[in-house]
Amino acid sequence: MRGDWIKYLRPLGITLLILVVLEIFSTALLPMLGLTKYRIPFNVLLVLYLGFKIESPYTSLFILILQYTHSFFTIEGWEMGTIAGVMICIVISYLKDLLHLSSSVITIIITQMFQFLWFFIVAILFYIREESFAYIVEKFWRFVPESIVISLLAPLFFSVLDAIWRTESDRALGDSV
């Protein structure tokens, strides 16, 4: 089992490349369109995908790598997102038997619910650090439209990421059917 992590290098590398392209889109192109206060949090979508679909002992490390890559494009720290992402993945792991992303509508609703949980966790961490609600309230009103966009994009992105993160055992199972 020493080389078990190697099978994750290719999908993680492709996912990081997708994240960088989406971050460039969000930080460069959206302001050109006049949307200067909004940034679509694609990193949250990728972390939620990892929580829902990837069963690996390395998931926390993947979240750290995604959040650290995301931090190159924002002033927000990677540490709060990593803590929130790991906590959400723990909640998802406990609820995995109850949560089935069987349709686009269900995927959109569940993604939206977990984004609110993400915001709540980050808001608590930010409040502990700053002891001020002003930024949290301002951020919440920007978060709502951003989270709706992410939720609507979730079914499409999850299907793309399913193709990327397909393991060898998944391929063998799919080939035999």
Query: Please, are residues 107 and 154 in contact by the beta-carbon 8 Å criterion?
Result: yes
Per-residue DSSP letters for 60-86? HHHHHHHHHHHGGG-SS-HHHHHHHHH
Q: Give tens-digit pLDDT for 62-113.
A: 999 999 999 888 877 788 889 999 999 999 988 888 887 888 999 999 999 9
2-16, 41-55, 125-139 — most confident range: 41-55
Written as six digits, the tokens of 42 are: 């694609």
What separation in angstroms does the CA of 22 have from each of 2, 33, 124, 133, 135? 33, 15, 27, 29, 25
User: In the prediction, which pLDDT does 29 show?
Assistant: 81
Q: What angle do helix axes 104-130 and 42-53 make, rounded to 10 degrees?
A: 120
Mean pLDDT of the chain: 86
The domain segmentation of the chain, as residue ranges, is 2-165
What's the rounded mean pLDDT across residues 12-19?
Answer: 95
- Domain 2-165 adopts which CATH fold? Arp2/3 complex 21 kDa subunit ARPC3 (1.10.1760)
The residue written with tokens 């949307």 in the block is 35
Query: Please, are residues 23 and 67 in contact by the beta-carbon 8 Å criterion?
Result: no
By C-alpha distance, which of 113, 128, 44, 40 is closest to 85?
44
Q: Is 151 exposed, middle or buried (0-12, 13-18, 19+ CB in 10 A)?
A: buried
How far from each other are the two terminal CA atoms of the chain, in whole angstroms? 27
Asked if pLDDT for residue 177 goes beyond 50, the answer is no
Asked if pLDDT for residue 2 goes beyond 90, the answer is no
Asked if pLDDT for residue 176 goes beyond 60, the answer is no
